[in-house]
């Protein structure tokens, strides 16, 4: 553990540690733009070869050669040393070195320390150089089209991708390399959940290693094993990880037990740009009024529905639970291998989450939260008492709704959990499904699946006298309280990098369908990738994104497990809905008594 004095010293150091941020903004380099720059570089290389073969008296331009080499290596996430950059110049060493120094003095090349001795440096293109090549590549394409015509079938898109509205849009800039690499013995160690978004991060490992300047080691676990490993890590003398990902409801447990460092104690929170986060996601990162994590994913659970199938059946999108049951019945056709709806019904954690959020659909929080405009207040749980509210009239309505869903669900519904519910929806065997936005890539990025291009999104349909909400799921990145003090400054910088708008857009560009920031959801490039971002942003502005359905009390994991077990017995016909609620209420009450909360 860090002592109080150690934390204060590290906090002071961390708050003044801004060397790794590049100030000048550049247009965001999308995969399309990167491809165009690489095409322009390839064209120049081939064109120069042809000219040299034509005249054989060509003199190389070291500025162009070194600039082209540097940008190409940057886009390929490869390190450039001074020696390799000089070698790419095509001129004698002394001449190339002078030209390189000239480019550095003009702000075209940045350098970054590579070793702990401070004697070895890598070279990187500056923001202005990247912007210059972005504009140049667009001009090369336009000149080629004007001179030789255009056979590209993407008519109408050239102005956007090649220098028109793209540059005017001022979309989010790319993650820039830190001028001072992170000093972490053995590299950056990160504990995450094994979901699609964190797997996208893993796929971008090489790019982020270039950004932070050190190796990255990521361990991924299923949700229950992730909780187990995070708890074990907190009991170690020194943390094995620099950053850990936590499911939103776990925050109270980890904050109250002192497993996480409060962020306002170790960094200037304004560096995170808090106002850019979806309100519900940022509120969910707080315990007792203090931030303990940064949203790395905000992934509300929505209703996915096949808009083509509903249209064929003459049905409107369902905004109430009654309308959903009606639609599920109309679309349920087991003889043709199609079922009405899929959802989380596997025993334990999966079904426990479903029951908790279904209670919210009927206007019932899982604990007795105070009412406020738009729902309930889950922000003061550390200061007030609470007790489970499971065996209630609205709880019974939620349980009976789940029983009704069984009639229109696949035969293996009682073993379906996080991913199993979306796979049959993607392949056309299910017409509707409850699912987190992070699961959308299963059908949005697979042109061969039946659901591709035919899906729309709604917040959860509402039960009797309740309002539609989209329960917020997702993960926070936090810093373990038992992190070695000498690793803390670098962990802070990594936290800022991985949760930045620049990084979030990169995740989206490479397949993620989660986003915790308004700026990313509003980015025109992002909106073109999926309708889900515009839908979620609209829900946020309508105050439909809510985190109270999964309140982050320290005991929530046990309550979820209890509800998931008792409700599973109910769905199997072992006990009635009323008996299941009574059993879940009694077990939850006993648990809170055992931990001294009742």
596: left (phi over 0), alpha (psi -120 to 50) or beta: left
pLDDT for the residue numbered 360:
97
- CA angle 414/419/424 to nearest 5° reads 75
Per-residue confidence band for 548, with pLDDT thresholds at 50, 70 and 90 = very high
Model confidence pLDDT, tens digit, residues 383-441: 888 999 999 999 999 999 999 999 999 999 999 998 899 999 999 999 999 999 999 99
Rounded CA gap, 597 and 252, in Å?
A: 14
Sign of CA dihedral 185, 186, 188, 193: negative
Please name the residue that has the structure tokens 């003044």.
16
Comparing CA positions, the residue from 41, 71, 31 lying closest to residue 161 is 31
Q: Is the pLDDT of residue 512 over 80?
A: yes
Mean pLDDT score, 519-528: 88
Dihedral over Cα of 511, 176, 297, 417: its sign: positive
Residue ranges and CATH numbers for the domains of the chain are 4-19+173-299+473-540 (3.40.190.10), 31-148+162-169 (1.10.10.10), 301-471+555-594 (3.40.190.10)
> What pLDDT band is residue 150 in, cutting at 50, 70 and 90?
low
Is the separation of the CB atoms in 474 and 295 below 8 Å? yes
Closest CA to 471 of 437, 512, 505, 521: 437
The span from the CA of 565 to the CA of 584, in Å, is 8
Query: Are the beta carbons of 432 and 353 closer than 8 angstroms?
Result: no
125 - beta bridge partners?
Answer: 109
Give the span between the Cα atoms of 403 and 375, in whole angstroms.
25
Q: Which residue pairs from 7-11 have beta carbons closer than 8 angstroms and sit at least 24 positions apart in sequence?
A: 7/261, 7/265, 7/266, 7/485, 10/266, 10/485, 10/488, 10/489, 11/265, 11/266, 11/267
pLDDT at 160 over 90: no
Task: Please tell me which of 12-21, 377-386, 417-426 the model is most confident about, judged by mean pLDDT.
Answer: 417-426
pLDDT greater than 50 at residue 205: yes
* DSSP per-residue string spanning 225-284: HHHHHHHHHHTSSS-S-SEEEEEGGGHHHHHHTT-B--HHHHS-GGGG-GGGB-HHHHHT
Task: Report pLDDT digits (tens) over 241-278.
Answer: 999 999 999 999 999 999 999 999 999 999 999 989 98
Q: Whose structure tokens read 């190796």?
A: 215
Check whether 310 has a pLDDT greater than 80: yes
Would you state the structure tokens that stand for residue 105, as one six-digit string?
Answer: 């003095």
What was the pLDDT predicted at 116? 65
Q: Which residue has the higher pLDDT, 72 or 171?
A: 72
DSSP string, 108-167: SEEEEE-STTS--EEEEE-HHHHHHHHHHHHHHHHHHHHHH----S-TT-HHHHTTSHHH
Q: pLDDT exceeding 70 applies to what percent of the chain?
A: 87
Which pTM does this prediction carry?
Answer: 0.72
């Amino acid at each position: 553990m860090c002592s109080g004095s150690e934390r204060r010293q590290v906090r002071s150091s961390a708050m003044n540690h801004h060397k790794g941020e590049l100030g000048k903004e550049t247009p965001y380099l999308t995969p399309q733009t990167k491809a165009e720059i690489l095409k322009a570089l390839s064209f120049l290389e081939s064109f120069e070869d042809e000219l040299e073969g034509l005249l054989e008296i060509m003199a190389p331009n070291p500025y162009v050669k070194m600039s082209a080499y540097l940008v190409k290596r940057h886009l390929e996430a490869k390190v450039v040393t001074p020696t390799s950059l000089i070698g790419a110049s095509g001129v004698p060493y002394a001449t190339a070195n002078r030209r390189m120094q000239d480019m550095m003095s003009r702000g075209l090349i940045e350098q970054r320390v590579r070793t702990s001795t401070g004697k070895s440096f890598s070279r990187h293109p500056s923001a202005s150089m990247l912007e210059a090549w972005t504009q140049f590549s667009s001009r090369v394409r336009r000149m080629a089209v004007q001179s030789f015509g255009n056979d590209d079938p993407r008519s109408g898109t050239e102005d956007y991708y090649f220098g028109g509205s793209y540059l005017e849009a001022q979309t989010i800039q790319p993650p820039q390399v830190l001028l001072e690499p992170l000093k972490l013995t053995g590299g950056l160690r990160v504990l995450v959940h094994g979901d699609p978004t964190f797997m996208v991060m893993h796929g971008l490992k090489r790019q982020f290693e270039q950004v932070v300047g050190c190796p990255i080691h990521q361990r991924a676990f299923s949700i229950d094993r992730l909780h187990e490993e995070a708890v074990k890590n907190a009991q170690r003398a020194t943390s094995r990880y620099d950053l850990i990902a936590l499911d939103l409801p776990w925050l109270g447990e980890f904050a109250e037990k002192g497993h996480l460092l409060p962020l306002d104690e170790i960094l200037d929170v304004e560096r995170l740009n808090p106002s850019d986060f979806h309100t519900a996601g940022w509120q969910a990162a707080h315990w007792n009024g203090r931030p303990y994590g940064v949203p790395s994913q905000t992934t509300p659970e929505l209703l996915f529905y096949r808009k083509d199938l509903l249209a064929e059946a003459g049905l409107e999108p369902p905004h109430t639970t009654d309308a959903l049951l009606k639609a599920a019945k109309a679309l349920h056709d087991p003889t043709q291998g199609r079922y009405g709806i899929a959802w989380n019904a596997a025993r334990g954690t999966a079904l426990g989450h479903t029951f908790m959020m279904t209670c919210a659909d009927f206007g019932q929080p899982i604990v007795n939260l105070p009412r406020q405009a738009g729902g309930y207040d889950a922000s003061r749980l550390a200061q007030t008492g609470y007790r489970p509210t499971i065996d209630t009239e609205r709880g019974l309505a939620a349980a009976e709704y789940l029983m009704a869903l069984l009639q229109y669900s696949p035969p293996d519904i009682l073993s379906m959990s996080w991913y199993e519910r979306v796979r049959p929806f993607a392949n056309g065997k299910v017409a509707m499904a409850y699912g987190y936005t992070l699961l959308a890539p299963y059908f949005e990025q697979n042109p061969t699946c039946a659901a591709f291009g035919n899906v729309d999104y709604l917040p959860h349909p509402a039960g009797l006298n309740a309002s539609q909400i989209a329960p917020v799921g997702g993960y926070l990145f936090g810093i373990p309280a038992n992190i070695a003090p000498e690793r803390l400054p670098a962990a802070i910088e990594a936290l800022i990098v991985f949760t930045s708008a620049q990084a979030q857009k990169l995740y989206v560009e490479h397949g993620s369908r989660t986003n915790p920031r308004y700026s990313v959801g509003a980015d025109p490039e992002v909106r073109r990738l999926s309708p889900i971002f515009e839908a979620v942003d609209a829900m946020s502005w309508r105050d439909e994104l809510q985190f109270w359905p999964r309140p982050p009390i320290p005991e929530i994991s046990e309550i979820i497990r209890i509800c998931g077990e008792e409700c599973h017995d109910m769905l199997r016909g072992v006990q009635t809905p009323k008996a299941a609620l009574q059993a879940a209420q009694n077990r939850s009450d006993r648990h809170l008594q055992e931990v001294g909360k009742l």
